[in-house]
Amino acid sequence: MPEPNAGRLRGLRQEDVAACCAIAVRAWTPIHDILRKDYGEGLYRMALGGWEACKAAEVEDFCRRYPDNVVVSELRGEVVGFATFHVHAGGVIGVLGNNAVAPEHQGKGIGARQISHAVEELTRRGVRYIEVITGLDQGHAPALAMYEKLGFVQRRRTTLLYKEVGGDPTRTPRR
């Protein structure tokens, strides 16, 4: 049974897109604070500088192109979370994509309800497996714990490696 402050789930409306983008940036900010420390300022700026605009554009593009593959959580008339999902690999694998809950509403079961809804929808569409990719760092720990609680099992652990080869770390990156 959902907690009383978990709100309700519903389909995406086009007027929700801006809220989903803003929630994504706010929810990923603490993760990026950790990444900034892990990478060091120079590498972080070069590798991930401007991530906020990229994340917002990624969420907006998906929401506009695939509105039927987005679920939102609404609490007292306000969008407080969202989850994206799609079918991949010839219909055999479902993919959980960007998903987030506004920081002030985290820990209330909202994210788990969103993911459970996406799993139900992907199952209804006939997928055999569902994948989700998340980080193994401290910033992703709550998401990893939620996925595992919902029955997801780690199949592979990866790491990201960098080698500094020179150049000016203060230079503005080209994309």
Domain spans of the chain, in order of start: 9-149
How many Å apart are CA 30 and CA 99, to the nearest integer? 15
The class of domain 9-149 in CATH terms is alpha beta
From first to last of the 175 residues of the chain, give the pLDDT tens digit. Answer: 455 566 899 999 999 999 999 999 999 999 999 999 999 998 999 899 999 999 999 999 999 999 999 999 999 999 999 999 999 978 999 999 999 999 999 999 999 999 999 999 999 999 999 999 999 989 999 999 999 999 999 999 888 888 888 777 666 656 5
How many Å apart are CA 80 and CA 70, to the nearest integer? 13
* Block residue for tokens 């960007």: 98
